[in-house]
Amino acid sequence: MEGLTTARRDFGPHKVVPVKVHQHKPFVPSEENMDLLTTYKQDYNSYAVCRADPIKPRDNKYPCGDKMECLPTYKADYLPWNQPRRELLRPEHKYRPASTRFDSRTTHQDDYPIKGLVNTVSCKPPPVPKLCNIPLEDLTNYKMSYVAHPVEKRFVYEAEKFRPCEIPFDSLTTHKESYRGLMGEPARSLKPPARPPGLGTPFSNTTEFRDKYQAWPTPQVFSKAPITYVPPEEKMDLLTTVQAHYTYPKGAPAQSCRPVLPIKKSSRFESSTTTKDDYKQWASMRTELVKPTPQLNLPTEPLDCLTTTRAHYVPHPPSNTKSCKPPWSGPRGNIPVEGQTTYTISFTPKEMGRCPASYPEPPGYTFQEVDPFGHRMYRPVSQAGSRQSSRLSVGDSGNPNQRELSVSV
């Protein structure tokens, strides 16, 4: 096979010439001055600045003294109807307060009177002696059938040792490395100076752009001319490698092996298609279900409803197990507790007196009155005639300095 391709035959090597770099002409600034004219400067005509007159009317110092007669639309169009007033549909007021004085007693005071101490009855069942003194047997099926297997030693993974980095830590951050802390110039305010009012100078046509703008030298734009296309003189061969070298002179187009269907010419419409003629329906039989072969023979006799426990359980007499409780050494004597505590040293026993508020009528006190808050006021018998008294709370009955008892009802 020849190793010559179309590209090698048609596209021959050409001589490579170095690219010429174009030298730009030196810039020569223009001697003419920039006119700095704008559309605003050419078209805007300055006018004399004058103060505009106010649109608001002046206030009248002498107002009119006549009374204004005004009738609004609501009063003129919406007039009241001449209809009688309807009576209120509410029930009659039949409540009459009682003429007797209110005793200020509640349902709780009437239904729950103060009673004395009540002796409760213990609901604890009486101790019953044991019916059987035989200890219970503590032998179970778990203790008899349990086999203690040796426990395998647990595999513990060893932790890998920490290997510190050999390179020392430089303790540098991006901020420490890049930030130098140079002192910058303070920001200058670009706000124009305030113009004093009252100046009639005309509008200045100079702007910040005209004052600070500098004309930059504009270089000449270099445009490279495109290289003219020179078509090749030889005619291009459009044959590929396959078309040139792989030829088969005896080749012919493939013929179809399918027989030609005869064309039926009749007046009747032929509804036969290729699918109906070539794909005929097969004579198929319905397959039976594949059922598993039963391997369990069900009994024909009825179920006797006898469980495994009923069939194999053998009742045994109850056996008492051995008690592990330590024997009772007998009642202990009145041995005092050894050791002194702060409570035992500093505690002073006091007599527990009964609260006077628990009595229906406190002994040593006489009933005086019921205050507006519902408290029953009592005074000591020895000081019944004195008006100077102070209230005594329910928990401070043992204080002799308190001379008045207040009971909440």
pLDDT of residue 394 exceeding 50: no
Residues forming beta bridges with residue 406, ordered by sequence position:
377
State the pLDDT confidence band at 198, using cuts at 50, 70 and 90: low
- Radius of gyration of the chain from its Cα atoms, rounded to whole angstroms: 63
Mean pLDDT (whole number) for 272-285: 80
State the pLDDT confidence band at 390, using cuts at 50, 70 and 90: very low
pLDDT of residue 409 exceeding 80: no
Task: Give, as one character, the DSSP assignment of residue 75.
Answer: H
CA distances from 360 to 189, 356, 370, 409 (A): 93, 9, 15, 11
Closest by Cα among 352, 355, 378 to 114: 355
State the residue for tokens 């890998």: 160
Question: Which value, to the nearest 10 degrees, does the dihedral of the CA atoms of residues 78, 83, 85, 90 take?
Answer: -100
| CA atoms lying within 13 Å on the CB side of residue 354 | 9
| CA atoms lying within 13 Å on the CB side of residue 272 | 10
Closest by Cα among 191, 195, 196 to 208: 191
235-245: pLDDT as tens digits: 888 888 888 88
Closest by Cα among 388, 394, 390 to 402: 390
121-147: pLDDT as tens digits: 888 888 777 677 777 788 888 888 888
Amino acid identity, position 113 = P
The residues, any chain, with a CB within 8 Å of residue 239's CB and separated by 6 or more, are: 6
Q: What is the distance between the terminal CA atoms of the chain, rounded to a whole angstrom?
A: 130
CA distance 196 to 207: 19
Give backbone dihedrals phi and psi of 370, rounded to 5 degrees, phi first.
-115, 120
Q: What burial letters (b/e) apply to 372-402, b meaning 16+ CB within 10 Å? A: eeeebbbbbeeeeeeeebeebeeeebeeeee
CA distance 388 to 380: 12
Name the token pair of 244: 């040139």
The residues, any chain, with a CB within 8 Å of residue 54's CB and separated by 6 or more, are: none
Residues forming beta bridges with residue 405, ordered by sequence position:
378
Mean pLDDT (whole number) for 193-201: 64
Are 341 and 357 in contact by the 8 Å Cβ rule? The answer is no
pLDDT of residue 358 exceeding 60: yes
- Write out the DSSP string of 211-241: HH--PPP-PPPP-PPPPPP---SSPPP---H
CA distance 400 to 353: 13
CA distance 379 to 396: 15
Q: What burial letters (b/e) apply to 357-371, b meaning 16+ CB within 10 Å? A: beeeebeebeeeeee
In the chain, % of residues over pLDDT 70? 84
CA distance 407 to 377: 7
pLDDT of residue 398: 42
| CA atoms lying within 13 Å on the CB side of residue 283 | 0
CA distances from 105 to 64, 112, 297, 404, 408 (A): 74, 12, 87, 22, 11
Q: Is 76 helix (H, G, I), strand (E, B) or coil?
A: helix
pLDDT of residue 200: 64
CA distance 38 to 209: 12
pLDDT of residue 24 exceeding 60: yes
The overall average pLDDT reported for the chain is 78
Q: Is 77 helix (H, G, I), strand (E, B) or coil?
A: helix
Are 289 and 103 in contact by the 8 Å Cβ rule? The answer is no
CA distance 118 to 115: 8
Amino acid identity, position 320 = N
State the pLDDT confidence band at 100, using cuts at 50, 70 and 90: confident
